[in-house]
Amino acid sequence: MLRIDQLNVTYGGLQALDGISIDVKAGEFVAVVGPNGAGKTTLFKSISGTVIPWRGTMLFDGVDLATLAAYERPHLGIAHVPEGRKVFSGMTVFENLEMGASTEEGRRRWNDTLDLLFTMFPRLKDRRDQYAGTLSGGEQQMLAIGRGLASAPKLLMLDEPSMGLSPSMTDVIFDAVAKIHKEQGLTILLVEQRVAEALENCDHAYVLETGRVVLQGSLEELSSDDRVRRAYLGL
Amino acid sequence: MIFVEQALQTLVAGLSVGCIYGLLCVGLALIFGIMRVINFAQGDLMMVGMYVAIFVASFVLPPAVFGVATPFIAALLVVPVMFIFGYLLSWVLISRTAGLKAASLTEGDAHQAQLILSLGLALILQNGAHILLGSSPAAMISPLSSSAWEVPLLIDDFSAIFFNKARTVNAVICVVISVVLFWFIQKTRIGKSLRAAASNSEAAIYMGINVSKAHNIAFALGTAIAGIAGGLLVIYYPVQPHVGVDFVIIMYAGVVLGGMGSIVGAFWGGMTIGLVQQLSTLFVPIQLQNTAIFVVFLFVLLIKPEGFFGRTVERA
Ligand SMILES: Nc1ncnc2c1ncn2[C@@H]1O[C@H](COP(=O)(O)OP(=O)(O)O)[C@@H](O)[C@H]1O
Ligand SMILES: [Mg+2]
């Protein structure tokens, strides 16, 4: 579904991504883990087009993403739930979700999606007319994910959804993501610093360090790797 | 009794001026609220609208067909003309210093470039109009400007207040346009996309919203509103190339008073200024009208620095 080959990104002179290749197949749950500053957000922004790579190719369902402007990419079925949530703070919860449904597919499936979202996150239903800026961090994350799902995407990309959340709220969010993957069969690309939680549900994972993929494999392969066990899982 | 009559008459004048100021402020607030662009040329866009209205009324609309409605229809026709003009301005010029294209500049640099660009635009519009049209004032003649509806006061047999017909129709049009615009921004999908682009342009892009186009639409709408307000104003206020200078100050005062970025606030800010400007003449010499505006302005901001409708929606 998404094939990234030899992606290079620089900021000024600084190399943020150095020849990254990543493959996400339809229906998979893929995790990209790595420490702060590894280039995880940069990878997501390149896919979404808010950062322009200087080398490498990105194909989504066979379409070369470089040929599309950033705002056209969501219409292909890519939903990006950005780092730090970035909800529309002066708009209500409901309006935020409506903005998610800016894609044609999102509008077509709007009623079904809304039912699904409000069942999954009843807190959003209770607060549907509240300004998004007044929600708690966890509620904002639910809204950000809901807004992504409202576009009825083929691929849901989540950038550190656990950032700044309490452990119990983090569990709620991760459980919701796992449930969406299982029940809807939605393809998921998750970026995380919390390695243990991220690896728990994934089919395949990449370990990113200073702009390079240093390790990749299935959940079993990674969790039996000594480096991962020591550096990330604290075992 | 004379004072009551005079006070009510002044109130009527204040309300009608306030409606025009309110609409002017709404246009400025729209541009600021959605693009974060401080547009110094807003008064001059109003001036262009005044000339366009005169041109349309004199050369496009046959008076025999439209009769006394001619000036108002001319003002309405200013909307598409100025919308296109504003869209082109934004697309070709403003977008280079605001929004996405300026993302590579640091915030401070982009801000200064944008201020200087809009000042430059103001000078070009003023002096361009001066070269093309000369400095003598032009006016739109309407029979309605010199006739009034008389409403008896019922406190005695002879007291009455007069509603100038042209000004009253103008005020109603201003209110209707402000309400329609507010509805458009709050309720329609395009309006909501504009607000989303304003709230967080990066996230708006991830929703598939064309943020550059949203900014162009916002600027075009703001320009069209300045234009129609000018088209309505010129029915009783003569235009000359530098007329915008006085008005842009009033517009900024109104927008700040209403709370930066709030469209409803901007209308009430403009209305307050119109009312203070007219009602002050009851108590102070007419030369102090504008002083009175800024005394009230400073007073309101001392008590409520965020303006009437300034609001914070971030979680405390
Ligand atoms: N806009 C930017 N300008 C310059 N450098 C940046 C910018 N964004 C990120 N970087 C740098 O790129 C590297 C990768 O950052 P990022 O992708 O945010 O990492 P992560 O999301 O894994 O924490 C870091 O060294 C960071 O400082
Ligand atoms: Mg990051």
Region A177-200: mean pLDDT is 90
For residues A110 and A114, give the distance between their C-alpha atoms in angstroms, rounded to a whole number. Answer: 6
Q: Do B205 and A136 touch (CB under 8 A)?
A: no
pLDDT at A99 over 80: yes
Chain A residue with minimum CA distance to B195:
A91
The winner for highest mean pLDDT among A199-203, B57-61, B270-274 is B270-274
Domain extent for A24: 1-77+154-161+189-235
Asked, for residue A136, whether it belongs to a domain, the answer is no
The domain of B31 spans: 19-243
Quick one: pLDDT band at residue B197, thresholds 50, 70, 90?
very high
B280 in a structural domain:
no
Cα B15 from chain centre: 15
CB < 8 Å to A136, chain B: 315
Note whether residue A20 is domain-resident: yes
For chain A, first and last CA: distance in Å? 34
Average pLDDT over residues B177-202: 95
pLDDT exceeds cutoff 60 at A153: yes
pLDDT for position B311: 65
State whether the beta carbon of A16 lies less than 6 angstroms from ligand 1.
yes
Distance from the CA of A234 to the center of ligand 2, in angstroms?
22
B19, B97 contact by CB (below 8 A): no
| 3-class SS of residue A28 | coil
Which residue among A82, A91, A103 sits closest to B199, beta carbon to beta carbon? Answer: A91
The yes-or-no verdict on residue B176 having pLDDT over 50 is yes
B184 assigned to some structural domain: yes
Angle formed by the axes of helices A93-100 and A137-149, nearest 10°: 30
- For residue A198 and ligand 1, the question of a CB distance below 6 A is answered with no
The per-residue pLDDT for A44 is: 96
User: Is the CB of residue A46 below 6 angstroms from any atom belonging to ligand 1?
Assistant: no
> Does B197 fall in a domain?
yes
CATH at A50:
3.40.50.300
pLDDT of B161 higher than 50: yes
Q: How many domains does chain B have?
A: 1
pLDDT of B283 > 70? The answer is: yes
Q: Tell me the pLDDT band of A233, cut-offs 50, 70 and 90.
A: low
Confidence of residue B305 (pLDDT cuts 50, 70, 90): confident
What's the pLDDT score for residue B9? 92
Is residue B156 in some structural domain? yes
Q: Tell me whether residue B258 is in a domain.
A: no
A195 C-alpha to ligand 2 centroid (Å): 14
Stretch B43-67: mean pLDDT, rounded?
Answer: 91
* Cα–Cα separations (whole angstroms), residue A177 to A149, A159, B8, B56: 11, 12, 64, 60
Residue A104 banded pLDDT, cuts 50, 70, 90 = very high
pLDDT single digits (tens) A13-56: 889 999 999 999 999 999 999 888 999 999 999 999 999 999 99
Number of separate domains in chain A: 1
Which helix (DSSP H) or strand (DSSP E) does residue A8 occupy? Answer: strand A2-11
pLDDT band at B171, cuts 50/70/90? very high
- Output the pLDDT for position B109: 66
Chain B 202-261, CB below 8 Å of chain A: which residues?
202-211
Assembly ipTM? 0.94
Residue whose CA is closest, atom 27 of ligand 1? A37
Cβ separation B207–A98 shorter than 8 A: no
CA torsion A153→A154→A157→A161, rounded to 10°?
60
Query: pLDDT for B230-274, tens place per residue?
Result: 999 999 899 999 999 989 999 999 999 998 878 999 999 999 999
Q: What is the pLDDT of residue A234?
A: 64
To test the contact with chain B by mutation, choose from A102, A154, A158 the residue with the greatest count of B C-beta atoms within 10 A, namely: A102
- Provide mean pLDDT across the span A74-92: 95
